[in-house]
């Protein structure tokens, strides 16, 4: 079995209503914020929570666990996938500038403009 690189586990799923990532909290509720998630340190706790999450499939779909590192009270996901799910893309998405004029192509070869 591969050695764990994290210090804790977090249970995650997707919300049925909108597909957004969500995390199981200590109160047994689901939160869109990773920092609200319940972290557990043993395989037994993880498996128990995963079983409980599986019973909430009227709210979420496909619950699963992933490794995190907890340092100074902050939850840090270890995989790139979970970082993107928790914090969004690592590059800024450029939106079209509404004030920019649409540039028409210059004259095509062999065509002239009036």
Which strand (E) or helix (H) includes residue 101? none
Q: pTM of the entire structure?
A: 0.73
> Tokens representing 60?
């979420």
What values do phi and psi take at 99, rounded to 5?
-90, -10
* Statement: residue 30 has pLDDT above 90: yes
pLDDT given at position 34 = 96
Alpha-carbon span 12 to 40, nearest angstrom: 13
Question: For 43-71, how does the pLDDT look when each residue is reduced to its tens digit (9 = 90+)?
Answer: 999 999 999 999 999 999 999 999 999 99
- Count of structural domains, the chain: 1
Which structural domain, as residue segments, surrounds residue 81?
8-87
- Is residue 96 one of the residues assigned to a domain? no
Asked if 86 and 34 touch (Cβ cutoff 8 Å), the reply is: yes
- Is residue 68 one of the residues assigned to a domain? yes
Q: List the Cα angle 54/28/25 in 5-degree steps.
A: 105
- Is residue 71 one of the residues assigned to a domain? yes
- Is residue 76 one of the residues assigned to a domain? yes
Question: For 58-107, how does the pLDDT look when each residue is reduced to its tens digit (9 = 90+)?
Answer: 999 999 999 999 999 899 999 999 999 998 877 766 666 666 555 555 55
Pairing of β 30-31 and β 21-24? antiparallel
């Amino acid at each position: 079995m591969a050695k764990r690189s994290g210090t804790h586990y977090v249970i995650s799923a997707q919300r049925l209503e909108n597909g957004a990532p969500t995390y199981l909290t200590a109160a047994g509720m689901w939160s869109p914020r990773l920092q609200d998630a319940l972290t557990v340190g043993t395989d037994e706790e993880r498996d128990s929570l995963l079983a409980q999450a599986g019973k909430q499939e009227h709210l979420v779909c496909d619950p699963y666990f992933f490794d995190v590192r907890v340092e100074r009270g902050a939850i840090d996901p270890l995989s790139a996938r979970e970082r993107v799910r928790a914090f969004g893309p690592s590059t800024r998405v450029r939106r079209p500038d509404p004030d920019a004029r649409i540039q028409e192509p210059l004259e095509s070869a062999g065509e002239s403009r009036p």
